[in-house]
Amino acid sequence: MTPEKKIRTLERLKSIREKIRDETRRRMSQCEEQSRSAEEEVRRLDRSWTSAVAGFSRSCRNCRSIDDLWLLREDIEGLEKKLRNAEQERLALQKELDGLKVELSRQHAEFRIAESILNGHRKADRIERLRREEKTLEEIALSRFAAD
**Tens-digit pLDDT profile for residues 74-93:** 888 999 999 999 999 999 99
Q: What's the pTM value of the predicted model, to 2 decimals?
A: 0.70
Residues 61, 64: Cα–Cα separation, whole Å = 9
User: Hey, where are the domains in the chain?
Assistant: 3-147
Residues 74, 68: Cα–Cα separation, whole Å = 10
Classified by CATH at the fold level, domain 3-147 comes out as Helix Hairpins (1.10.287)
The model's pLDDT over 45-61, given as tens digits with 9 standing for 90+, comes to 999 989 888 887 777 77
Q: Is 19 within 8 Å of 134 (Cβ atoms)?
A: no
In this predicted structure, what is the pLDDT of residue 63? 66
Q: Is 121 within 8 Å of 3 (Cβ atoms)?
A: yes
Give the amino acid at 28.
M
**Does pLDDT of 69 surpass 80?**
no
Q: Is 59 within 8 Å of 68 (Cβ atoms)?
A: yes
Mean pLDDT taken over the chain: 89
Q: Treating both helix axes as pointing N-terminal to C-terminal, what angle do 3-62 and 66-147 enclose, rounded to 10 degrees?
A: 170
